[in-house]
Structure 1
Amino acid sequence: MSDLPVVVIGAGPLGLAAAAHLVERGLVPLVLEAGDGPGTAVDQWAHVRTFSPWPELIDPAAARLLAPTGWTPSEAGYPTGREWIDDYLAPLAAVLGSRVRYRTRVAAVSRLGRDRLVSAGRSDAPFVVHVTQPDGTEARVHARAVIDCSGTWGQPNPAGADGVPALGERLAADSGVLSFVPPTPTEASDAAGKHVVVIGSGHSAMTAVIQLDEVARRDPSTTVTWVLRRGVVGDTFGGGGADELPQRGALGTRSKEAVDAGRVSLVTGFRTERVDLLHGRAVVSAEDGRTLDPADHVVVLTGFRPDLSFLSEMRLELDAILQAPVKLAPSIDPNEHSCGSVAPHGAAELAHPEPDLYIAGMKSYGRAPTFLAMTGYEQVRSIAAALAGDHEAARRVELTLPDTGVCNGAGLFDAPETEAAGGGCCAPAPAADPLALSLHPLGG
């Protein structure tokens, strides 16, 4: 199989970085992207500014691949999603050239002549990646290995508290009253004088709350309701000044200030059961019978989940809770802790019983939150080394991750209002510099 390519699923930041590492290792990548260009998911939040600075958003191997073209990395600042695409992802994809195929959707990954049940000769059989091509026809691509960097963006978690869309949620989404993306500046401005409900507790929700708070500052008739499933505990608003990524900490600081000032109403312990449409507005109700005032718009920002459907013929070893690789899951399980510094990890932690199949990037976290681009770049560096047979490099750690400054024990999602944050799993982080706020809807 040495003459076959390594198929990389997804031409986002991690998929393109994986391709760069494979090229550097002398391997042949083939990146399959369902969208029309690089960073299709990033393009959907192109208006949002990242909380990671430029140097942390550029993969080292990608930078080395780009250097001969005259491209130079940005040294400072916090790009928007659009800037990340235009100034980095698009040039990287251009250098990779025909190694990237767009409008090519992966339908399934299998082994040649073997379904999931067949063990005999399995590891010697090439992968078969079933795709739908730009013209709608089906095709099969043979590969020596597969790296799934398809992410989770297209699989948002619902508003429903039990992991299933609330009653009426799909209808509200179809009507346009409910959405799953932070509002654009224009959409936020259009909310002036209206009632907007934001559901979610992570960085995406804080992003939306801050955007809408700016509107409420200008027009006090604007009503913003922020809904949390859990009660308020010490880490509700993140690490603040203790976060080693200052702009990430600023999200919590700014959103807390909006709540304290009374411009944003915080509703806690609210587990959404249904969303009813009433004269073009949405009425959100909880399992305990509480009902919010009719909203002109509901923004659901409750995280994402992996799409594992096209890997159904692969032998995966996933954690029963997170749907992440079992060796990685204990360090990222939010039921156990909320420490931001996950130990750098690579091929060993991301391996599955299916040899030479890896799930990398945000999808490797399953349903766990707070994924950083730097984490993914280290993942694909290690995977490329393993596929090239350099197992010492695959084991080596070449990354130190920043701390969130948030330390919390079990019960992260369901802690009552009276519970104090605890756990003590992180050392105090250095104080942050007072930098301008920057936002990121994906948790890293």
Structure 2
Amino acid sequence: MSDKSAPASLPTVVIGAGPIGLAAAANLVERGLEPLVLEAGPQPAAAVRAWAHVRLFSTWGEVVDPAAEKLLAPTGWTRPDPATYPSGSDWAEQYLQPLADALGDKVRTGATVTGVSRAGRDRIVDADRDTQPFVVHVTYADGSEERLFARAVIDASGTWATPSPAGGSGLPALGERAASDRITYRVPDLDDPDVRRRYAGRRTAVIGSGASAFTALAGLAHLAKAPDGAGTKGVWILRRGISGSTFGGGASDQLPARGALGLAAKAAVDDGHADAVTGFRTDAVERDADGRLVLVAEDGRRLDPVDEVVVLTGFRPDLSFLSEIRLRLDERLEAPVELAPLIDPNQHSCGTVYPHGHRELSHPEEGVYLVGMKSYGRAPTFLALTGYEQVRSVVAAIAGDTDAADRVELTLPETGVCGGAGLFDTPAAEEESTGGCCAPAPALIELGAVGTLRAPASGGC
């Protein structure tokens, strides 16, 4: 790009060709603006394809962006039944790939963004900063490099590439890296014959308390009941206690499939296919004489050996390539400071999020936006509907249509889970006093928890 002095003539660079990045590009096209989408993976929606075997708990009607649908219409694309639930593979192949195809050469794959800055200005320089275009450094799969200029940057790169570790302190547990041959940070695809053999008849620890952990536990329970899965056992490790909200909203969840996931995890414990270990914050991963893994808690407790460990403790944003950009992030969640209070899992776990757009997503560096899962930082429970509304508002702001950008409307299905999500246990009375968003905080319940950690039981506490 030679006309560096006229940012308005430059494209808007979108980092990531996932659902939200492609939706941002579709909104830019609708506004008559030029997008350039940079995807690090070999294909569009590379992260979604990595969990192709997992079924979404949102329906097709909730995972198609309106601007994207308009862009696809002239291609003859037919929207899938809005009442059905796509898998990751369905979402990628039936919607995201066609959308990327419709965008054509506006999407580049194998393009890893390694840095974003202002042209000729590092982070500390104020002089004429706002008049300079953004400069985006890109490394391609063949090892070549390029420097691109942009009028604005929308970072929709997500958090898939940076899963959180097993360690309860937020750092990898001692020995966690050395045990990487027995640890995965993804939901296993138990329909894949090779993966299935890895877990069949084995004892597997699942660390985590969200929808991904529910999915893994339910999958292991299903495998345990199959002819080739005899002896399969799950050990569910939670950093907090079990309460009425542990398994989600159940029948009260306005996304029925999301509620069903929690009920399936509960059934796995109730039916003896998994034991629950509570208040266990992993400090170390050791090997016994047979090469099996022994998890050790911060309080010194040691679990019986397991064959495999599935770590599903959430994700965190990679901010390294934004180090020369002036961001304003919450010190805990690493989310934009205006957005953080609305999504803080210490405060709530409801599915409703206060409507938000470009103002909550803005930073001191005007023209840079973190959107989608990246905007949530370390907070969980992000929905595609949220991201689609984010990019509609952000693109309107980039286009100078402040009225449209400020007109943010977002109604999300409630989880049926209210009160604090509880990163640590909170007494019931204290939880109730926080004024949960839907109903009084649930009381603790007893549910197939492990009483003696040396001899896991399938019965009561």
Counterpart contact for 1:235–1:406, Cα < 8 Å = yes
Q: Give 1:131's match in structure 2, choosing from 124, 131, 138.
A: 138
2:456 is aligned to: none
Counterpart contact for 2:348–2:437, Cα < 8 Å = no
* Residues 51-70 of structure 1 mapped to structure 2, 5 A cutoff: 51-70=57-76
1:182 aligned to 2:193? no
Counterpart contact for 2:349–2:419, Cα < 8 Å = yes
Measured after TM superposition, the shift of residue 220 of structure 1 is 4.8
* Residues 138-217 of structure 1 mapped to structure 2, 5 A cutoff: 138-173=145-180, 176-185=181-190, 186=192, 187-188=195-196, 190-217=198-225
**Residues 32-80 of structure 1: CA deviation (Å, up to 9, x unaligned):** 1111111100111101111000011100000000000110111231111
2:417 is aligned to: 406
Provide the C-alpha distance between the structure 2 equivalents of 1:341 and 1:159, rounded to a whole number of angstroms: 29
1:2 is aligned to: 8
1:172 and 1:419, CA in 2 relative to 1: closer, same or farther beyond 3 A? farther
Provide the C-alpha distance between the structure 2 equivalents of 1:244 and 1:424, rounded to a whole number of angstroms: 21
Measured after TM superposition, the shift of residue 234 of structure 1 is 2.1
Measured after TM superposition, the shift of residue 259 of structure 1 is 1.1
Q: Give 1:116's match in structure 2, choosing from 98, 119, 123.
A: 123
1:369 is aligned to: 380
Counterpart contact for 1:233–1:419, Cα < 8 Å = no
1:318 is aligned to: 329
1:91 is aligned to: 98
Measured after TM superposition, the shift of residue 426 of structure 1 is 3.0
Counterpart contact for 1:323–1:365, Cα < 8 Å = yes
Identity of aligned residues (%): 60
Counterpart contact for 2:118–2:129, Cα < 8 Å = yes
Counterpart contact for 1:407–1:424, Cα < 8 Å = no
Unpaired runs of at least 5, structure 2: 1-6, 440-461
Provide the C-alpha distance between the structure 1 equivalents of 2:94 and 2:155, rounded to a whole number of angstroms: 24
SS at 1:171 equivalent: coil
1:292 and 1:331, CA in 2 relative to 1: closer, same or farther beyond 3 A? same
* Residues 249-260 of structure 1 mapped to structure 2, 5 A cutoff: 249-260=259-270
Counterpart contact for 1:234–1:420, Cα < 8 Å = no
Measured after TM superposition, the shift of residue 349 of structure 1 is 0.5
Counterpart contact for 2:419–2:438, Cα < 8 Å = no
2:299 is aligned to: 288
Unpaired runs of at least 5, structure 1: 429-444
Measured after TM superposition, the shift of residue 394 of structure 1 is 0.5
SS at 1:310 equivalent: helix
SS at 2:178 equivalent: helix
Provide the C-alpha distance between the structure 1 equivalents of 2:349 and 2:48, rounded to a whole number of angstroms: 25
The structure with higher relative contact order (CA 8 Å, sep 6+) is 1
**Residues 237-265 of structure 1: CA deviation (Å, up to 9, x unaligned):** 11111111000011111111221222210
Counterpart contact for 1:232–1:417, Cα < 8 Å = no
1:439 is aligned to: none
Bigger Cα displacement from structure 2, 128-137 vs 325-334: 128-137
SS at 2:98 equivalent: helix
2:279 is aligned to: 269
Counterpart contact for 1:128–1:140, Cα < 8 Å = yes
Provide the C-alpha distance between the structure 2 equivalents of 1:225 and 1:397, rounded to a whole number of angstroms: 43
2:448 is aligned to: none
Provide the C-alpha distance between the structure 2 equivalents of 1:426 and 1:90, rounded to a whole number of angstroms: 38
Residue 59 of structure 1 aligns to which amino acid in structure 2? Answer: D
Measured after TM superposition, the shift of residue 190 of structure 1 is 4.2
* Residues 317-396 of structure 1 mapped to structure 2, 5 A cutoff: 317-396=328-407
SS at 1:94 equivalent: helix
Counterpart contact for 1:223–1:264, Cα < 8 Å = yes
SS at 2:186 equivalent: coil
Provide the C-alpha distance between the structure 1 equivalents of 2:275 and 2:225, rounded to a whole number of angstroms: 14
Provide the C-alpha distance between the structure 1 equivalents of 2:12 and 2:373, rounded to a whole number of angstroms: 20
Provide the C-alpha distance between the structure 2 equivalents of 1:417 and 1:136, rounded to a whole number of angstroms: 54
Measured after TM superposition, the shift of residue 408 of structure 1 is 1.2
SS at 1:182 equivalent: coil
Measured after TM superposition, the shift of residue 395 of structure 1 is 0.8
SS at 1:142 equivalent: strand
Provide the C-alpha distance between the structure 2 equivalents of 1:134 and 1:191, rounded to a whole number of angstroms: 33
Residue 43 of structure 1 aligns to which amino acid in structure 2? Answer: R
Provide the C-alpha distance between the structure 2 equivalents of 1:359 and 1:193, rounded to a whole number of angstroms: 43
Measured after TM superposition, the shift of residue 189 of structure 1 is 5.5
SS at 1:170 equivalent: coil
Measured after TM superposition, the shift of residue 344 of structure 1 is 2.3
Measured after TM superposition, the shift of residue 277 of structure 1 is 2.5
Bigger Cα displacement from structure 2, 330-339 vs 373-382: 330-339
RMSD across aligned positions (CA): 1.5
1:230 is aligned to: 240
**Residues 380-403 of structure 1: CA deviation (Å, up to 9, x unaligned):** 000010001111110112331111
Aligned residues: 425
SS at 1:237 equivalent: coil
Provide the C-alpha distance between the structure 2 equivalents of 1:108 and 1:217, rounded to a whole number of angstroms: 49
Bigger Cα displacement from structure 2, 307-316 vs 181-190: 181-190
Counterpart contact for 2:112–2:138, Cα < 8 Å = yes
Structure 2 length normalisation: TM-score?
A: 0.90
